[in-house]
């Protein structure tokens, strides 16, 4: 009985990510003196939370069998838009709502292009990445002079409560909410059905287009949320925000058990994947390894994980006798 439970845990998709995280924590504890330093843990939280928020959106899409390359640009655009709104002298809640609105609009455009028009997800979101980046940079010239956000806005980024940042509490709430949503809510289960077999889901009567559209919209809003917290933490928008974050989230989700084929993935997996990526970055910083090497490592890991995923998939198909 004991062994069965052990086997079950190992077979879970998330176990790869958990295993990798444990290895990294061990390496960091042994090799670096300052890993457990509160300051390091704080900086880990700050780099981890926005990425994890975006990774949730990415995970929803991966479960449906889609993905979004434009999250980084959406994040950048939202952060700069937040700067613009607060320069216009709007009150803080309005600024936040408008920023989330910008993310929602971008997400809806993505969703429209992919689900209604039917464009390949890669190409539609790559195009939107370009559009978003260009739009953000146009706005950037006006926001460049902004010194700092309002005090109340900054609390979102710097405020602490019970030893953790406000944003970490928000993230924990999101983890619980989304876990319940994916596991028990009918809406969450629909995502898996659409990803597992879209035709069948359509025949049963699910509106697959609407589900996909909503998933993209949610990703847009989550990117905007990440932008709000991130920009609040560094007091003003920067033009480098969100660079490469689509890749980070994407790889994190794939490592955390998401599959490009759809129908697989969980919130915990996404979180573990993001923890892994943050720890990896942290390791490169703390051990003073060249940051360029990180790209090589991440690329190789991605290829390995994708290959493993494909191998498992083929094995499953063979077992079912489909090939």
Partner 1 sequence: MSTAATGRKLNEQEKKKFDFGGWTIVYLTLALFVFLSLTRSTFLNFNNIHSIVFDVSVDFFAIIGFTFLIIMGELDMSVGSMFCFGGTLMGIFCNTYKMSAGPAIVLAMVIAGIIGLISGYLITKFRLNSMMVTIGVMLAVKGYNWMMITRMTGRQLPRESRSFVMNKIGNISWVILLMLVVAVILEILLNKSRYFKQMYYVGHNMETTILYGIKANRVKMICFAVSAMLSTFGGALMTCRVKAPNVTVGSNLEVTMITAAVIGGASIFGGRGSMVKSMLGLLFIYTLRNGMTAYRIDSYVQQIILGVILILAIIADIRITAKRA
Binding site for partner 1 (CB under 8 A): 113, 117-120, 122-124, 126-131, 133-135, 137-138, 247, 250, 254, 260-261, 290, 292-303, 306-307, 309-311, 313-314
Nearer to partner 1, 190 or 246 (CB): 246
Least gap, CB of 217 to partner 1 (angstroms): 18
CB < 8 Å & 24+ apart, contacts of 304-308: 305/16, 305/251, 305/254, 305/255, 306/254, 306/260, 308/16
Nearer to partner 1, 238 or 313 (CB): 313
Nearer to partner 1, 171 or 194 (CB): 194
d(CA 59, CA 74): 17
**Ordered DSSP codes for 185-206:** SHHHHHHHHHHH-HHHHHHHT-
Q: How many helices (H) and strands (E) does the chain have?
A: 14, 2
Least gap, CB of 69 to partner 1 (angstroms): 10
Least gap, CB of 137 to partner 1 (angstroms): 4
3-state SS class at 165: strand
Burial class (CB in 10 A: 0-12, 13-18, 19+), 41: middle
Least gap, CB of 320 to partner 1 (angstroms): 14
Could you report how far apart the first and last alpha carbons of the chain are, in Å?
A: 33
Least gap, CB of 297 to partner 1 (angstroms): 8
Nearer to partner 1, 5 or 319 (CB): 319
Q: Check: CB of residue 15 under 8 Å from CB of residue 9.
A: yes
Least gap, CB of 78 to partner 1 (angstroms): 17
Nearer to partner 1, 173 or 314 (CB): 314
Q: Check: CB of residue 224 under 8 Å from CB of residue 100.
A: yes
Nearer to partner 1, 135 or 175 (CB): 135
Q: Is the dihedral of CA 317, 318, 321, 322 positive or negative?
A: positive
């Amino acid at each position: 009985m004991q062994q069965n439970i052990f086997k079950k845990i190992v077979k879970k998709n998330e176990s790869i990510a958990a295993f990798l995280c444990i290895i990294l924590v061990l390496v960091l504890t042994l090799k670096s003196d300052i890993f457990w330093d509160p300051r390091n843990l704080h900086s880990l939280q700050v780099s981890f939370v926005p990425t994890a928020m975006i990774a949730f959106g990415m995970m929803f899409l991966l479960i449906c069998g889609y993905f979004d390359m434009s999250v980084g640009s959406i994040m950048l655009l939202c952060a700069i838009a937040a700067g613009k709104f607060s320069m216009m002298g709007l009150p803080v809640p309005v600024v936040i709502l408008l920023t989330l609105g910008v993310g929602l609009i971008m997400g809806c455009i993505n969703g429209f292009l992919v689900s209604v028009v039917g464009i390949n997800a890669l190409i539609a979101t790559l195009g939107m990445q370009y559009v978003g980046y260009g739009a953000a940079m146009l706005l950037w010239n006006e926001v460049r002079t902004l010194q700092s956000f309002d005090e109340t806005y900054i609390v979102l980024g710097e405020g602490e409560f019970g030893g953790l940042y406000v944003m970490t509490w928000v993230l924990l709430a999101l983890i619980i909410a989304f876990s319940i949503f994916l596991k028990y809510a009918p809406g969450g289960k629909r995502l898996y059905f659409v990803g597992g077999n879209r035709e069948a889901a359509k025949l049963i009567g699910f509106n697959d287009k609407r589900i996909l559209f909503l998933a993209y919209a949610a990703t847009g809003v989550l990117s905007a949320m990440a932008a709000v917290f991130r920009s609040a933490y560094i007091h003003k928008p920067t033009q480098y925000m969100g660079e490469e974050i689509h890749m980070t989230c994407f790889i994190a989700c794939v490592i955390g058990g998401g599959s490009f084929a759809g129908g697989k993935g969980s919130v915990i997996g996404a979180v573990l994947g993001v923890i892994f990526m943050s720890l990896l970055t942290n390791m490169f910083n703390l051990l003073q390894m060249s940051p360029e090497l990180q790209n090589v490592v991440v690329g190789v890991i991605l290829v390995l994980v994708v290959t493993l995923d494909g191998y498992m998939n083929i094995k499953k198909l063979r077992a079912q006798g489909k090939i």
